[in-house]
């Protein structure tokens, strides 16, 4: 089965450090989403891309977060500088042309000390 | 703005018993509706989806859901649960006109299976 692949699975780092999370969408999917999951807020949409172009990043803190798609097989989410409140599980999802349904990766569990 | 309410934070069911998880949505037009399941430490797996047509949709693992427009509901059901069904279940909505828009999720229902 085709899968969305996220790396790393787990990341522990100190406050102030740069964090980069990577996502390889399913081959042929042209829409990529980033979500964040926390106990308090649940699953929240951060940003998404279609054909590598950003469509909406209104859910993302602009001052420290950035999302890019350098090519069709790689999406990145960066946090610089990281803060303890960024601790969460970050999910990437991809979907085919037409938009739905979305297929999720296993997430990156991020802990900022 | 669209929203999803899953009124039950936890549900405990005996193995072999039937299950219904509730989901109510708020959206001004025709939505696309989804149920996802999340096992500990894992990502979200799509159980089923409703786009249009027959309001009773079948999914994987023996699950089904019924779309009721008059009640703004999309409840998930299973006639007989197995211990392996213990997980977190999320209902989600997106506008049908948006196509590739991001999903709005409910807070989830934690399903516990008693032996």
User: Across the interface, do B43 and A33 touch by the CB < 8 Å criterion?
Assistant: no
* A38 to chain B, closest Cα gap in Å: 10
Backbone angles phi, psi at B37, to 5 degrees: -125, 140
**Is pLDDT at B91 greater than 80 in this prediction?**
yes
**Is pLDDT at B84 greater than 90 in this prediction?**
yes
Chain A residues whose beta carbon lies within 8 Å of the beta carbon of residue B97: none
pLDDT band at B28 (very low <50, low <70, confident <90, very high): confident
B104 touches chain A (CB under 8 A): yes
**Is pLDDT at B57 greater than 80 in this prediction?**
yes
Quote the pLDDT of residue B99: 58
- Residue among B46, B90, B99 whose CB faces A98 most closely: B99
Residue by residue, DSSP assigns B5-49 as E---SEEEEETTS-EEE--EEE-SSPEEEEEEEE-TT--EEEEEE
* A22 to chain B, closest Cα gap in Å: 15
Residue A30 makes CB contacts below 8 A (sequence gap 6+) with: A50, A51, A72, A96, A97
What share of chain A has pLDDT > 90, as a percent?
Answer: 83
Among the ranges A54-58, A69-73, B86-90, which has the highest mean pLDDT value?
B86-90
User: Across the interface, do B102 and A103 touch by the CB < 8 Å criterion?
Assistant: no
Quote the pLDDT of residue B85: 97
Nearest CA in chain A to B46: A103
pLDDT in tens, A5-36: 999 999 999 999 999 999 999 999 999 999 99
* B37 to chain A, closest Cα gap in Å: 11
């Amino acid at each position: 089965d085709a899968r969305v692949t996220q790396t790393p699975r787990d990341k522990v780092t100190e406050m102030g450090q740069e964090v980069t999370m990577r996502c390889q969408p399913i081959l042929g999917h042209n829409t990529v989403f980033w979500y964040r999951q926390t106990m308090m807020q649940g699953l929240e949409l951060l940003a998404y891309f279609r054909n590598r172009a950003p469509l909406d990043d209104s859910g993302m803190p602009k001052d420290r977060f950035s999302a890019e798609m350098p090519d069709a097989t790689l999406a990145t989410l960066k946090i610089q500088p990281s803060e303890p409140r960024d601790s969460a599980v970050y999910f990437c999802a991809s979907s085919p042309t037409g938009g739905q349904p979305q297929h999720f990766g296993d997430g990156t569990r991020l802990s900022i000390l | 703005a669209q929203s999803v309410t899953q009124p039950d934070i936890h549900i405990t069911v005996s193995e072999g018993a039937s299950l219904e998880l509730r989901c109510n949505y708020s959206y001004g037009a025709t939505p696309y509706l989804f149920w996802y399941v999340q096992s500990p430490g894992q990502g979200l797996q799509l159980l089923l989806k409703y786009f249009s047509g027959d309001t009773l949709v079948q999914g994987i693992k023996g699950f089904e859901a019924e779309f009721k427009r008059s009640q703004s509901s999309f409840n998930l059901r299973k006639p007989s649960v197995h211990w392996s069904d213990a997980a977190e279940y999320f209902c989600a909505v997106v506008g049908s006109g948006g196509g590739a828009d991001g999903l709005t999720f409910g807070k989830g229902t934690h399903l516990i299976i008693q032996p």
